[in-house]
Every structure is written in C-alpha cells, then in structure tokens.
Structure 1
Amino acid sequence: NKPYITPHTSTTTSRVLRECDLYMPKYDNDVDMKSVKENFDRQTSQRFEQYEERMMKNRKKYKEQRDKDIQQIILKDKVEKSLEEKVEKGCLICGCGLGGGVAPFFGLFGGLAVNELKKDAAVAASQKGIQAGIAKAIEELGKIVALSEFNLIKWNAMVTSTTYNQPMDLVRIVSKAYYACEESTVAEKTRFCLATNAWDQKSSTLALQTVTREAARIAGEADEIAKTTKATEIALANAESSYLYSAIGYSVLAILIMLLVMIIIYLILRYR
C-alpha cells in the first residue's frame, strides 16, 4: 500500500505584521482617500497662495514706507543745510522784534493786568467781608436768649448786606421778634418769649431794653468782622499781585537774555 498524503488548507488568516507590509500603500486604490488627498493638496496650495499674496502686500507697504522715510531724510538734510542762513536772518529779525516791541509790550500789559487783578481782588474781598459780617450778625443774634430757635422770622432775609452793621435795623428786627411774642400763640411757647415775659414781670421795659442793647452791640461786632475780613483778603490779594508782577518782571528779563543770546549767535554766524 502506498502512503497517501492528504493536503491540509489553513482556514485561519495570519495576523502577524510583516516588515514589508509597513511600506505597502494600502490606500492607493481607495477612492475616498484619493479625494481626501486631493482636497488636502488643494487647500494647502490655496493657503500658500494666500500667504504669498499677504507677503506681497506687506512688501509693498514696507517699500512705500521706506521710500517715504527716505524722502523725509532727504528733506531734513536740505533743511539742515540752510539752517545757518535761517538762524542768521531769524536771530536778527527776532532780536529787533523782541527788543523793540515785545519787552515793552509785556511790561505795559503786565502792569495793566496786575492793576485789573487788584481791582477784582478788592471787590471780592469786600464781598467776603460782607458775608462774614452777615454770618457774625446772625450768629450773635441767635445767642440772645435762644433767639435762634425763633422760627417766625427769616433771619437770612432780614439780615442782609445793608442791615447787618446797622444798629437801628438790627434793633428793629429784634423788636419785631419781641412784639411777636404777644401776637402769636406759637411764639409764646419759645424760650425767647418765656424769658422776655419773665423780664417784663420785673419791669415793663427791661426785656425790650435788653434785647435792643444787644442788637446794637452785635451790629458793631459784625461791622468790625467785615472790615477785618476785607483787610485780610486785600492783603492776600496784594501779596499775590506782587508775586505776579515779579513773575512778569522775570519773564521780561528772560526775554532780554534770549535777545542777547540771539544777537551773539548772529554775530558768530555772521563773522566766523
């Protein structure tokens, strides 16, 4: 008997990765992969073209800027070449102008400006003095037996720039408050009216004499405060105007020094 060999065919697929399989293009015949590669190549080319266009625009812009800078440098060189001549003529003209017109003008203008400032300062000082006098009069009137609590009289309307330092006007205002104690039931409950009624029980004229005497004294004090405040403000204004006048004088001196320097430069450029 002959030995019989039966061939066996493997029914399983080997999954062992061979070295040659690493370099085999598996997707060359794949339609989808071809489409992806074509899209990638096309997009890459477009991006390179766009980049090149941007670079061309930037190069053009930089070239224009460089040309502009070169033109400015050339113009600057031309200006610098004629600088000596311009300085020579300019110094002579400016020197004459400053010496003949500007310095006297500044001196005259400075004096007029300082005088106007003094006038304005005097008016402002007078107003501040009046305001201080009014405030002092209202404050002191309020101290007459708690008269500040007497709300039936509008003190700011009664004590004004024409009445704050007038004894008779302040006496009239205080007398009005005194007589209001008898005419108004609301006023009777105030401390001022209670005090004046108590004084009237001792003497019929004691309360009126007391408040009017205080009002006359307050007018004198308010007037003194107003004058003191005005004098202080005027002194401050005079000090400021003196400082300003000195500053103007220094400015004129500086202009004259500049004039001298320009003349020296002119002479150096003219006779070197």
Structure 2
Amino acid sequence: YAASKGAAQGLAAGIQAGKGVAIKSLEKLGVKYFWTGMSSEILKMNHYKEVANLTDVIYTAKLKVCDELTYDNFVNMCEQFDIKIGVYTEEVKNALLPKYAVPNALNRIVSEAETTAKEVFEAESTRIAAEITEQQTAVINATYSSWQIAITASVIAIVVIVLIMVIIYLILRYRRKKKMKKKLQYIKLLEE
C-alpha cells in the first residue's frame, strides 16, 4: 500500500517538477518574451513531455512578434533566441531550419525535465512510502501497546489474587494449628 501510494504521489510530483524545469528552460531561451502565456499553458498540460509538441506555437509567436517590432533591443533578443535554439550560429550564419532547430531544443528541454522528474519521483515516492510506513507502524505499535498493557494488568491481577489466597490459607492454617494446640492442652488437662 505504502509503495503504490508513494509511487502515485511521486509520479505527480515528478510531472510537476518536469513542467517547472521546462518552464525555466524556455524562459532562459527567451520564449516568455514572445509567448506571454507560456507558463500557464505548460502548467495546464497533462505531462511535461507535451512541451516537445510546441514547435508551431513557439516559433509562430516568435515570428509574429519579431516581424512586428523593430526595436534594436527586441531584434537583438530575436537573434539571441535563434542562436540559443540553433537556427543561427554565433556568427549569425544559418545552422538549422527552424522546423528542425526548435524541436531539437524542445527535445533537449524535455530530456532535462525527464531527468529532474525521475529524481523528484524517486525522492518523493521514497519519502511518501516511508511516511505511510511510519504511520502504519505507529498504529500497529499503539494497538500492540494497548494489548500489552491489558495482558500485564491481567497477570498482575492474577498474581495479587494468588497472593491473597496464599495469605488466607496461611492464616487459616495458623488458626487451625492454634486451635489444635488448645484442644491438645485441654485433653491433657482432662487426663490429669
């Protein structure tokens, strides 16, 4: 039970961590400047691996923004984005077509997210399983402890009853001996 519960919660935590890594990696590339709703859209996804399917969304948004704005800072940002994902080299020469470069960059991001997700999955599932095991052990110990107390109390009660019976027996025996002594003395007196 603890292992399956830990695995389920670990998987959920791993997926969330993977989404977080994907968001941070895309922010480092500068995607947030072209696609402002990026973080919320990725968080809505079922799995961080869906980030690999965002080629059209990201590059379409990038082209739209970069074609419309001509500020030097923004043009530089557009070029830096293309360099970071591999469309251009540092010398601003063509390296790969965007239809190949963007998926490659997204696959690298998914790979990073996968690594982080696995680490978080392992850590979280182990932690949850240990926590549940500890709780179940505490319940078992509490039950065992209550039974142990009941058994101990019963044994003590039996010992006390036996001691009382032995004391009563000894008192009665002493009184009988005393009575017998008196009887013997009385008989001796009568014989004399």
Q: State the TM-score bracket (shorter-chain normalisation).
A: 0.5 to 0.7
Matched, 1:263 2:151: yes
Pairing of 1:89-104 with structure 2 (within 5 A): none
Per-residue deviation, 1:117: 5.5
TM-score of the superposed pair, with normalisation by structure 1: 0.41
Contact 1:129 1:227 survives alignment (8 Å): yes
Larger radius of gyration between Structure 1 and Structure 2: 1
Which amino acid in structure 2 is aligned with residue 225 of structure 1? E
CA–CA distance in 2 between the matches of 1:261 and 1:127? 47
Q: 1:224 aligns with which of 93, 106, 111?
A: 111
In structure 1, the partner of 2:126 is 239
CA–CA distance in 1 between the matches of 2:18 and 2:79? 35
Q: 2:75 aligns with which of 183, 190, 193?
A: 190
CA–CA distance in 1 between the matches of 2:95 and 2:72? 16
Q: 2:42 aligns with which of 160, 168, 174?
A: 160
**Identity of matched residues, %:** 14
Which amino acid in structure 2 is aligned with residue 190 of structure 1? V
In structure 2, the partner of 1:138 is 27
CA–CA distance in 2 between the matches of 1:207 and 1:182? 20
CA–CA distance in 2 between the matches of 1:192 and 1:257? 68
CA–CA distance in 2 between the matches of 1:164 and 1:138? 17
Alignment RMSD, CA only? 4.0
TM-score of the superposed pair, with normalisation by structure 2: 0.54
Q: 1:126 aligns with which of 7, 15, 18?
A: 15
Label 1:246 to 1:136 Cα distance change in 2 as closer, same or farther (>3 A): same
Deviations 1:123-179 (A, max 9, x none): 23322222222222332x33xxxx77xx45426269625487544522552254245
CA–CA distance in 1 between the matches of 2:153 and 2:55? 73
Return structure 1 stretches of 4+ with deviation > 6 angstroms. none
Q: Flag the structure with higher helix content.
A: 2
Contact 1:181 1:188 survives alignment (8 Å): no
The number of residue pairs the alignment matches comes to 147
In structure 1, the partner of 2:59 is 174
Higher RCO structure (Cα 8 Å, ≥6 apart): 2
